[in-house]
């Protein structure tokens, strides 16, 4: 396996998670959390004044690592599973326009712009918080949420349209009913729509309160509609999330017993240790070494074995061989 292919296995999200991938993702997540924590602590003046040198050193190190990661991801993208990335030039350009590639680029750009002195440093510090989006790639939960939004796009769009329609109509009604009574509060329809948003979401800041009887009746109706609409929205997301979680568990079943050639060795007295109750025919490999027949069910717990158990028995070395 070439170096580029090894990097592709580590970088690509669709590849099975091995030890190297898990170690890389954990190290990257710790680096992102550390870097974002530094950005937050830098906003405290005494801390920034006393530890500015450490913060600057950590920022340079994080920028270098993120830049190297982005470059290596673009280089290894031609070995990803997506056929759009196969071409050495156009494939890499397609990858650079993908969502997560743009997130990786955003993690580097603020620091590079700051080095060139082309923008406000305070704005660049806040932009560095976008590096937290890199954690989305390694989170199964966010992947499930994105899948829910894709599957329920029409239903979510319909609910958002109902909310927008309710906000517009109720804001217009409230401006008509309360505009003359409270001209300094309900100054316009957009201002009344802000009241509608507060009421629909049941936040109720109290900065805009209807005073007339008709206004209070409209306010109560909008509150009830808001509760029902938000309950319907949360129920839709919950059902979709449970469906995606069930689908994920079906596609990624937990293997009760994992058998690999590196972790399993077979003793010559296998039959004696397991018992004579198992009908294990004698087998011999091409090399003349005793080979153990592969079972479809674990003799200890009765669980179905994975496909790894069907590998060539000649690749499993007995004890003392």
Lowest mean pLDDT among 105-109, 141-145, 259-263: 259-263
59 and 111 in a single domain? The answer is yes
Q: Residue 264: is its pLDDT beyond 50?
A: no
Classify residue 298 by burial, with Cβ atoms within 10 Å: 0-12, 13-18, 19+.
Answer: middle
| Average of per-residue pLDDT across 210-226 | 89
Residue 138's pLDDT is 66
Q: Residue 200: is its pLDDT beyond 90?
A: no
In a domain, 36, yes or no: yes
26 and 125 in a single domain? The answer is yes
**Last residue within a domain, chosen from 189, 224, 251:** 251
In a domain, 229, yes or no: yes
164 and 104 in a single domain? The answer is no
202 and 304 in a single domain? The answer is no
In a domain, 306, yes or no: yes
| Average of per-residue pLDDT across 176-200 | 89
- pLDDT band with cut points at 50, 70 and 90 for residue 168: very high
Residue 118's pLDDT is 55
131 and 168 in a single domain? The answer is no
In a domain, 305, yes or no: yes
In a domain, 147, yes or no: no
109 and 159 in a single domain? The answer is no
Range of the domain at 268: 256-321
120 and 242 in a single domain? The answer is no
51-107 pLDDT per residue, tens: 888 988 988 888 889 899 999 999 999 988 888 888 889 989 999 998 888 888 888
How many domains does the chain fold into? 3
Helix ranges (DSSP H) in the chain:
3-11, 19-42, 45-50, 52-76, 90-96, 99-106, 109-116, 121-127, 140-151, 153-178, 189-200, 213-251, 270-274
| Average of per-residue pLDDT across 166-190 | 90
Higher pLDDT, 185 or 315: 185
98 and 40 in a single domain? The answer is yes
In a domain, 144, yes or no: no
| Average of per-residue pLDDT across 177-206 | 88
Residue 68's pLDDT is 92
CATH number at residue 56: 1.20.120.350
| Average of per-residue pLDDT across 170-189 | 89
Residue 86's pLDDT is 87
For 134, which DSSP code? G
Q: Residue 257: is its pLDDT beyond 50?
A: no
| Average of per-residue pLDDT across 287-314 | 47
Q: Residue 287: is its pLDDT beyond 70?
A: no
In a domain, 313, yes or no: yes
Higher pLDDT, 279 or 8: 8
246 and 265 in a single domain? The answer is no
**Last residue within a domain, chosen from 251, 286, 304:** 251
Output 70-78 pairs: Cβ under 8 A, ≥24 positions apart.
70/101, 70/104, 70/105, 70/107, 70/108, 72/7, 72/11, 73/7, 73/11, 73/101, 73/104, 74/101, 75/4, 75/7, 76/4, 76/5, 76/7, 76/8, 76/11, 77/8, 78/4
CATH number at residue 173: 1.10.287.70
Residue 298's pLDDT is 54
236 and 129 in a single domain? The answer is no
Residue 103's pLDDT is 85
Lowest mean pLDDT among 25-29, 195-199, 300-304: 300-304
- For a pLDDT cut of 90, what percent of the chain falls above it? 8
Q: If you average pLDDT over every residue of the chain, what do you get?
A: 76
Residue 252's pLDDT is 65
8 and 128 in a single domain? The answer is yes
41 and 117 in a single domain? The answer is yes
Residue 217's pLDDT is 92
In a domain, 54, yes or no: yes
**Last residue within a domain, chosen from 226, 251, 276:** 251
Lowest mean pLDDT among 50-54, 167-171, 238-242, 272-276: 272-276
Q: What are phi and psi of 102, to 5 degrees?
A: -65, -35
């Amino acid at each position: 396996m070439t170096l580029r292919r090894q990097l592709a296995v580590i970088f690509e999200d669709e590849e099975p998670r091995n030890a190297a991938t898990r170690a890389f993702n954990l190290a990257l997540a710790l680096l992102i959390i550390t870097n974002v924590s530094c950005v937050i602590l830098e906003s405290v003046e005494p801390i920034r004044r006393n530890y500015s040198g450490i913060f600057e050193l950590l920022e340079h190190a994080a920028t270098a690592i993120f830049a190297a990661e982005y470059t290596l991801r673009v280089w290894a993208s031609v070995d990803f599973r997506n056929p759009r990335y196969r071409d050495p030039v156009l494939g890499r350009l397609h990858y650079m326009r993908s969502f997560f590639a743009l997130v990786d680029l955003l993690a580097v750009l603020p620091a590079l712009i700051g080095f060139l002195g082309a923008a406000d440093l305070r704005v660049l510090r806040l932009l560095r918080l976008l590096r937290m989006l890199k954690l989305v790639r390694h989170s199964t939960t966010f992947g499930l949420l994105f899948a829910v939004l894709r599957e329920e796009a029409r239903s979510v769009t319909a609910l958002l349209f109902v909310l927008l329609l309710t906000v517009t109509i109720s804001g217009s009604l409230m401006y008509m009913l309360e505009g003359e009574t409270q001209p300094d509060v309900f100054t316009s329809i957009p201002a009344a729509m802000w009241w509608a948003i507060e009421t629909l979401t049941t936040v109720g800041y109290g900065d805009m309160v209807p005073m007339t009887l008709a206004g209070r009746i409209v306010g109560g109706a909008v509150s009830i509609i808001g509760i029902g609409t938000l309950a319907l929205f949360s129920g839709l997301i919950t059902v979709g999330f449970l469906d995606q979680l069930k689908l994920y568990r079906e596609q990624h079943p937990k293997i009760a017993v994992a058998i690999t050639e590196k972790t399993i060795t077979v003793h010559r007295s296998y039959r004696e240790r397991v018992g004579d109750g198992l009908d294990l025919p004698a087998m011999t490999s091409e090399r003349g070494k005793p080979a153990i027949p592969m079972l479809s069910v674990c003799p200890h717990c009765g669980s179905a074995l994975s496909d790894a158990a069907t590998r060539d028995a000649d690749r499993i070395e007995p004890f003392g061989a």
